[in-house]
Every structure is written in C-alpha cells, then in structure tokens.
C-alpha cells in the first residue's frame, strides 16, 4: 500500500493545529508525553478487549448510561470495532479515547496519537463513530485516516524538531534506529516519518522477510507499505512495489534478524531514464524495514585530473 501524500493546504492547516497544541506546554523535548497532551485537551483514555465480548459490552453499557448518542444505538461500539477491525477509536462527545488492550505498548502510543489527531482536526468531527446521514466512501475514509496519521506524526515527532534531527544525520537505517530511541516511537513509524519529511528522492518499504515469505505473501503486492517522499512520488510515479521488492531480494541475505544487506537498486523515472538508489534493509524479526536514497544516474561520469 502506498502512502497517501496530502495536499499542501491540508498539511498547512494540520500543522497549525498541531503547532498550537505543542506550543502550550512550551514545545517540549522528545519524547512527547501523551498524558500531558490528553490533560491539555481534556481527553480521557480507557481500554477495551477486542477478544472479550463481555468487556466490549461493559464499555457499551457505561457509554449508554453516560450519553444519548450511544443510548440510541447500544451496539454501536461493538459494530464499529468488529466491522472496521479498529485498534483504537475516539468518542468525541465523551472526550474519551478507547484503545484495544491487546495492542503492544509502543503501538498503543501511535494509536493514541492518531485518535488525538482526529480530535484536533475540526472537519473530522462528523466522521467519528460513523455518519448516520451518509456513509463515507473508501477514498474519503482513506483521506481522513491519512490526515489523522499525518497529525499523529507531527505530534509524536514534534514537527520541525524531527526535521532538524533528520538533516543532521546520515541517510541510513542506523539513523532511523537512533531517532526511534530519541522519540520513543516504533521503528516502523520512525521510518515512515523519516521518508516523508525528506525533501530529496527517498523511498522506504515495510514488508516481510524477502527470503522467508509468510503464508499470506502476495507477489502482486509484496510490500505491506510503500513509503515515498514527495519528490520521489513526483519524479518516480511509475516505480512499483515489485520493482522495490526485486531489488531487495537481490542484495538481502537470509539472516533471521538484523541487517539483511545493502546494495544499489535501479529505478526508472517518469521519462523512462534509469537511476541508481542506495538501499539498505533491516529485519527486526517481525518486519523488514528498507530505506533507499538517490545515488546517481548509471551513465554519469566522473572527471579525474
């Protein structure tokens, strides 16, 4: 799945919303303390179990007592969780974020920031818990989720602070790992944000092990996520998941974990001209994380005096 790059009007508005809320505590140093942010926004956090039907019913019962919206449709929470496979959701009327307790702690951090993002973006209010007037189209739903993801990234990576850190480091997986530790987010979300804030020709991928395919592996869609910088998406719009994955397989070894390798991968721009990218892949025993950045045209020459 390719990352959806928002237009500059949407990002400018979301940047303002995030900037205001981060300015209130004095633009804190990383890592961001979400508990402080929730207190500022008067948001509560609670947990449910998506695998325990009785636990969901208990949450629904409490919400029925508390609010008329849920009272009118007592199964709404269970319906939303089941149909959409949600790991977290926002109940704006109750000022509450609900998170699936089965989600690992570090991933709960992203889920929580994502729901805070929904809360910060004014035009998302009508989409929470579904819309009883109209059903969101898939493209609209994708847009809304991309906007909440963008807001979450801006929050957890503290806007310009992360951009400055990225510029001060060499473009490699080791830098991504350093930033993961500094901002206390998952390596996957750090890689995603690392690629998207870059102004150059940078690409990232999150996949299974290139040489150890899972049972649900699809050669037609070999990557779980195909992440592109804005410049890469513009100049290499024809580059496919298959192109990236084939390059990964060529240089990656069969190790069970750690650095799987690095190598040059040839990709073609919109005019059909070939260019070389330096790729590197790290496997954390769950996901293979790949970073690629522009090297040169294979036909470039170097003058020697």
Domains, the chain: 8-155 (1.10.10.2910), 160-296 (3.30.450)
Q: pLDDT above 70 covers what percent of the chain?
A: 83
List, for residues 90-111, the tens digit of each pLDDT value.
Answer: 878 779 898 988 889 889 999 9
Helix axes of 34-41 and 105-120: crossing angle, nearest 10 degrees: 30
pLDDT the model gives residue 53 = 58
pLDDT at 59 over 70: no
Q: Which of 151, 107, 153, 145 is nearest to 128 (CA)?
A: 145
Q: Which DSSP state fits 262?
A: E
How many angstroms separate the CA atoms of 138 and 73, rounded?
24
Least confidently predicted of 92-106, 109-123, 245-259: 92-106
How many angstroms separate the CA atoms of 59 and 65, rounded?
10
Q: Take residue 225 and report the two structure tokens written for it.
A: 């996520």
**Which position has the higher pLDDT, 140 or 208?**
208
pLDDT band at 63 (very low <50, low <70, confident <90, very high): very low
pLDDT the model gives residue 107 = 92
pLDDT at 18 over 50: yes
Q: What is the CA radius of gyration of the chain?
A: 21
CA 108 to chain centre: 13
Q: pLDDT above 90 covers what percent of the chain?
A: 70
Helix (H, G, I), strand (E, B) or coil at 143: helix
Instruction: Name the average pLDDT for the chain.
Output: 87
pLDDT the model gives residue 102 = 87
**Which position has the higher pLDDT, 135 or 119?**
119
pLDDT the model gives residue 301 = 53
What pairs with residue 225 in β-bridges?
Answer: 206
How many angstroms separate the CA atoms of 77 and 55, rounded?
11
Give pTM, 2 decimals. 0.87
Q: Which of 109, 70, 111 is nearest to 91 (CA)?
A: 70
Q: Which of 35, 62, 197, 189 is nearest to 116 (CA)?
A: 35
pLDDT the model gives residue 29 = 95
pLDDT at 71 over 70: no
How many angstroms separate the CA atoms of 85 and 111, rounded?
13
pLDDT the model gives residue 258 = 97
Q: In whole angstroms, how far apart are CA 135 and each of 105, 129, 205, 259, 297? A: 32, 11, 32, 45, 47
List, for residues 191-226, the tens digit of each pLDDT value.
Answer: 999 999 999 999 999 999 999 999 999 999 999 999
């Amino acid at each position: 799945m390719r990352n959806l790059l928002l237009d500059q009007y949407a990002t400018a508005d979301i940047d303002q919303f995030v900037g205001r809320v981060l300015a209130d505590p004095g633009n804190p140093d990383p890592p961001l303390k979400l508990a402080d942010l929730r207190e500022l926004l008067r948001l509560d956090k609670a947990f449910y179990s998506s695998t325990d039907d009785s636990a969901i019913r208990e949450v629904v019962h409490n919400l029925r007592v508390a609010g008329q919206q849920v009272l009118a449709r007592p199964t709404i929470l269970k319906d939303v969780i089941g149909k959409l496979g949600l790991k977290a959701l926002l109940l704006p009327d109750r000022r509450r974020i609900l998170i699936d307790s089965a989600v690992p702690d570090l991933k709960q951090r992203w889920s929580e920031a994502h729901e805070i993002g929904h809360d910060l973006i004014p035009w998302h209010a009508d989409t929470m818990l579904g819309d009883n007037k109209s059903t969101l189209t898939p493209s609209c739903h994708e847009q809304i989720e991309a906007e909440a993801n963008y807001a979450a990234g801006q929050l957890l990576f503290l806007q310009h602070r992360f951009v400055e850190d990225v510029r001060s480091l060499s473009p490699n997986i080791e830098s991504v790992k350093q930033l993961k530790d500094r901002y206390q987010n998952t390596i996957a979300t750090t890689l995603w944000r690392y690629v998207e804030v870059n102004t150059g020709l940078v690409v990232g991928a999150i996949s299974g092990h290139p040489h150890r395919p899972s049972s649900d592996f699809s050669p037609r869609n070999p990557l779980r996520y195909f992440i592109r910088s804005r410049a890469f998406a513009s100049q290499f719009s024809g580059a496919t998941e298959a192109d990236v994955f084939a390059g990964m397989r060529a240089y990656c070894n069969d190790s069970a974990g750690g650095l799987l390798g690095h190598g040059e991968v040839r990709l073609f721009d919109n005019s059909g001209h070939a260019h070389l990218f330096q790729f590197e892949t790290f496997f954390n025993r769950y996901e293979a994380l790949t970073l690629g950045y522009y090297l040169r045209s294979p036909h470039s020459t170097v003058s020697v005096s």
